[in-house]
Structures are given as structure tokens and as C-alpha cells.
Amino acid sequence: MNEKPDIKSMNITELTEFVTALGEKPFRARQLYQWMHQKLSSSIDEMTNLPLAFRETLKRESRYISLKQVQVQVSKEDGTRKYLFLLEDGNVIESVRMRYKFGNSVCISSQAGCRMACRFCASGIGGLVRGLTPSEMLEQIYRIQEDIGERVSHVVVMGTGEPLDNYENLLQFIALLCDDKGLNIGQRNLTVSTCGIVPNMRRLAEEKLQITLALSLHAPSQAKRKELMPVAGTYDMYEVLGACQYYFEQTGRRMTFEYSLLAGVNDGDEDAKALADLLKGMNCHVNLIPVNPVTEHKFRGPEPKRVLSFKNNLEKNGINVTIRREMGRDIDAACGQLRKRYVEGR
């Protein structure tokens, strides 16, 4: 592994130190930062207002992370685009662009692989390879914005990986993404989804950011949740819900709960009732997602009628709920499947 510094993962203070240590003036760091985070350059050679000698020094003394697009699938139904990107070390990751009325939303991966092994998810099947660097997380957005030629306005960290299992890199990524000298994405337009790593949820709360935290709940009881999500064996549901409450208290941000509906497993009216009791009085929003079938797993999504009944049950009990619109159904490669197939095919 090449250990030269990764300049795209540096904030402006770190970059200024690095650049001045190379004998350059501080304003060169600002120029370089702008090339990386506003002009979204994919190589140092593009940075034409930097002296040639400085560009050569940068190429010698640092690593310039830029992702290579190896595949893109485009939905004819709704314009959803699924990308596979190649990392420098040969790993591949996937990212998705969804088009909504309010703008372009990009779903990024936070790790190559995942160690959480949720029973219905394709991303955990091969285990964790490694956490992504801030630059690798940013680049997924930068390359997509360049590819579509439109501004990306919203980002969700809901692709492969557990973001709170890559905490330091995630925080640096957020700082760079929301920097007004970079893409300047509003914190409120960023959602981070977690399976419930309690200590890091609490740490995140104390950062007092304005990002949305989504918890993957998927079950109305600890016993059921533990069967679906091994992480519930480490942090039980009540600790997790306590951390959600703490996040709300610290940030004032309403929690989102993700609930994947698995036919015959967690989609009954009694499950809806138990879920409503569990969340009663919390300032929150529930997102229902019929599970995307994964070849290696036995789970299937319920019939639309069942989904509606589940939703009505929650609403009757005063819970805010939406059914997540399924995007890109015709290019169906749910949650980590695109990457998995590609890796297996290689």
C-alpha cells in the first residue's frame, strides 16, 4: 500500500500545512482545495493555474484519489443510475443516483464490504474489506455530479457498509462535503444510516451536527431484531432507542427509522401495533421499504396490500410514516448485489 498522503482527504488547515511544508505559499493550498472540491478535478494535470513544478511535486509527494467508473446501469423507468467504481487497490464499490422533484440524491458506500451481516442484506455476505477514506466517499459524489452534469443536492450514506464503523473517516467526509469552500451541501440534506452502533451514535449526537440520523430498526422487538441483525446481540434495542432519543435531544433533529418489510417475518398487524407502542411519543418518522430480494437470502417483500395495511396501522396509532418509493426496479440489483456480482464475475 502506498502511504503517501491522500490530499483530497485533508481539510484546508491540514492541506495548508502540507503545502507550506513543500515550500509553497498558503494560497496554493486554497487553489488546490478549490480544484479538488469545487472544480472536481480528476487529475492534478488539470490544475492549470498551479505552477508546473508544484504539480510535479504534488504528484511525487502525494496520492491523488479519483475513482474510475467501471459500470453504470440506467433505469428507463425513473432515471435511477447505479454506478460501480474502481478504487486504487482494486476493490469496487457501488453508488446510486436517484432523481427526485427536489433534486439529485446520491447514495454512497462508506466501506468496501461490511461486517454487520444483516440476514436480508447482500453487502455483508463477503464480510468487511476496509473502510473508505474521506476522499473515496467524496469522489462517489464528485464523479456522479460530473457524469450527470447536474448539481447533487442530497446525499444519503446508505450504500454498502456501516458508516459508524468507519467513524473518523465519516466525520471528515461530512466536514469536507458540507464546507462552503467545497460542494457546500447543507447538513440537513445529508442522511447517515446506521444499524445501531450505540457508542458512536452517542458520539455523533455530541458533534451537534444538523444531519439526519436514520436507524435501521426492522423489528418491533429485541428478540425479532436479534434474529435479523447480529449487531442487536451487542447493542440491544432499548440501548439503541435510548441513543436515538439522545440524538434528538442533542441536535433537535427528528430521527428516521428504517423498517424493511419481510413477508411473514415482521409485516403482521401485530408487528405494526408493537412498533407503534415502541415509538409512541418519540419525535420520529418511519420509512417502510419492502425488502429487495437477495439471491442468497430467503426473504421476500410483502404484497402491496400488506404494506398498505402495515402503514395504516402505524398511522392509526399516530406514527409518521411513508412507504419508500422503489426506484430503479428495472435495474434491480439491491443493496450490494451489483458489487457482489461484479466481484464474483471477475
Query: Which residues sit at the interface with ligand SAH, rule CB under 6 A?
Result: 116, 118, 120-121, 158, 162, 193-195, 216, 258, 260, 289, 291-292, 294, 334-335
Query: Within 13 A of 85's CA, how many CA atoms are on the CB side?
Result: 29
Q: Least distance (Å) from ligand SAH to the CB of residue 210? A: 19
Q: Least distance (Å) from ligand SAH to the CB of residue 38? A: 28
Nearer Cβ to ligand SAH, position 38 or 320?
Answer: 320
CA–CA–CA angle 92, 256, 105 (5° rounding): 45
Q: Least distance (Å) from ligand SAH to the CB of residue 120? A: 5
Nearer Cβ to ligand SAH, position 55 or 285?
Answer: 285
Nearer Cβ to ligand SAH, position 10 or 289?
Answer: 289
Catalytic residue among 107, 114, 178, 335: 335
Nearer Cβ to ligand SAH, position 50 or 288?
Answer: 288
The reply to whether 296 belongs to the active site is no
- Sort 2 into a burial class: Cβ within 10 Å, 0-12 / 13-18 / 19+: exposed
Query: In terms of Cα–Cα distance, which of 198, 205, 180 is closest to 33?
Result: 180
Q: Least distance (Å) from ligand SAH to the CB of residue 158? A: 4
- Note the helical H segments in the chain: 12-21, 26-37, 52-61, 134-148, 167-177, 198-207, 222-228, 237-251, 269-279, 304-316, 337-345
Q: Least distance (Å) from ligand SAH to the CB of residue 289? A: 5
The reply to whether 94 belongs to the active site is yes
Catalytic residue among 94, 136, 139, 258: 94
Query: Coil, strand or helix: which one is 23?
Result: coil
Query: Coil, strand or helix: which one is 49?
Result: coil
Nearer Cβ to ligand SAH, position 3 or 296?
Answer: 296
- DSSP character at residue 216: E
Dihedral class, residue 183 (left if φ above 0, else alpha if ψ from -120 to 50, else beta) = alpha
As annotated, the active-site residues are 94, 335
